C-alpha cells in the first residue's frame, strides 16, 4: 500500500499520479503504467459519457484535480514575470484543459441526474453513486419538477390520476418513472485478456476478450466489469 508520491518532473507544477490511495472510491489504476490525473480524468469522463446509467463518483480524483488546478494557477501567477508569453499561454492552456475535463465530467453526471432523477432516488445503489452535493441537487430537482407537474397538470386531474409515478392509482407498479436503458450497445476495450466472458444468462453467447481489441456489446453484461474497472468504455 504505497502512499502517493507526486513526481517532480521538471515542470513548474508537480503532476500528481493516480497511484496509491486505497480507498473504495479510488482504485488501483495499474502499477505498471502510472497515468497522471489528467489521463485518469479523461478516462473516467469517457466512461461516464458512454454509459447509459450513472457511474460511481470519483470523489478523491475530483478533489486531487481541484487541488492540482489551484496549484497550477498559483504557479502561473508566481512565474508570470519570469516566463515569456508563449510559455505562459502553454501553462494556461494546460489549466484550461484540466478545467474543461472536470467541468465536462460533472456536467455529464448532472445531465444523467436530470433525466433519471426519480429512478436514482428510489434505487439504493444508484443513490450511493452520487456525491453528497449531487444528492442534494437531485432531491431539490425532484421537488421542483414534481411541484411544477402538480401545479400545472396533476392537480387538475382526479385523485385516481394525480400521481407522477403511476399512470393511474390502479396501476400495479410505478410505471411512469424513466429508467436508463441498460441494454443499449456500448463500445468497450479491455487492457488485459479477460478470457471467455458470458454475455447472457443462458450461456449461449460468449465473447473472448482480448487485450486492446474494440468490442461492441450490450451494456448490461459488462456492467460489473466497468465497476471493477477491468474494461473501459470508448
Residue ranges that bind another protein, judged by CB under 8 A = 66, 89, 92-93, 96-97, 99-100, 102-104, 106-107, 110, 114, 133-134, 136-137, 140-141, 143-145, 147-149, 151-153, 156-158, 160-161, 164, 167-168
Shortest CB 205 distance to another protein, Å: 36
CB closer to another protein out of 157 and 210: 157
Q: Could you tell me the three cell numbers for 151?
A: 401545479
Which parts of the chain are beta strand (E)? 185-189, 195-198, 206-209, 214-218, 232-233
Give the side-chain half-sphere CA count within 13 A for 142.
17
CB closer to another protein out of 144 and 193: 144
Strand partners, 195: 209
Q: How far is 78 from 189, CA to CA, in rounded Å?
A: 42
CB closer to another protein out of 100 and 185: 100
Shortest CB 156 distance to another protein, Å: 5
Q: How far is 115 from 113, CA to CA, in rounded Å?
A: 5
CB closer to another protein out of 76 and 231: 76
Shortest CB 85 distance to another protein, Å: 10
CA 141 vs. chain centroid, Å, equals 19
Other Cβ atoms within 10 Å of 148 Cβ, number: 11
- CB burial of residue 117 (10 Å; 0-12, 13-18, 19+): buried
Shortest CB 95 distance to another protein, Å: 8
CB closer to another protein out of 7 and 89: 89
Shortest CB 92 distance to another protein, Å: 4
Amino acid at each position: 500500500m504505497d502512499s502517493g508520491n507526486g513526481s517532480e518532473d521538471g515542470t513548474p507544477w508537480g503532476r500528481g499520479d493516480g497511484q496509491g490511495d486505497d480507498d473504495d472510491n479510488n482504485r488501483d489504476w495499474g502499477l505498471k503504467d502510472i497515468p497522471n490525473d489528467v489521463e485518469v480524468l479523461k478516462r473516467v469522463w469517457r466512461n461516464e459519457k458512454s454509459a447509459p446509467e450513472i457511474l460511481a463518483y470519483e470523489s478523491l480524483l475530483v478533489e486531487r484535480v481541484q487541488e492540482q488546478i489551484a496549484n497550477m494557477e498559483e504557479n502561473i501567477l508566481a512565474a508570470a514575470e519570469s516566463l515569456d508569453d508563449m510559455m505562459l499561454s502553454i501553462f494556461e492552456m494546460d489549466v484550461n484543459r484540466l478545467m474543461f475535463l472536470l467541468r465536462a465530467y460533472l456536467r455529464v453526471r448532472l445531465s444523467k441526474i436530470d433525466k433519471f432523477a426519480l429512478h436514482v432516488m428510489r434505487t439504493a445503489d444508484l443513490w450511493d453513486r452520487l456525491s453528497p452535493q449531487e444528492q442534494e441537487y437531485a432531491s431539490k430537482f425532484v421537488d421542483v419538477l414534481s411541484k411544477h407537474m402538480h401545479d400545472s397538470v396533476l392537480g387538475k386531474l382526479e385523485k385516481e390520476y394525480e400521481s407522477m409515478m403511476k399512470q393511474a392509482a390502479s396501476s400495479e407498479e410505478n410505471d411512469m418513472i424513466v429508467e436508463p436503458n441498460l441494454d443499449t450497445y456500448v463500445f468497450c476495450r479491455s487492457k488485459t485478456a479477460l478470457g471467455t466472458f458470458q454475455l447472457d444468462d443462458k450461456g449461449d453467447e460468449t465473447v473472448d476478450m482480448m487485450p486492446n481489441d474494440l468490442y461492441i456489446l450490450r451494456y448490461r453484461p459488462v456492467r460489473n466489469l466497468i465497476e471493477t474497472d477491468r474494461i473501459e468504455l470508448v
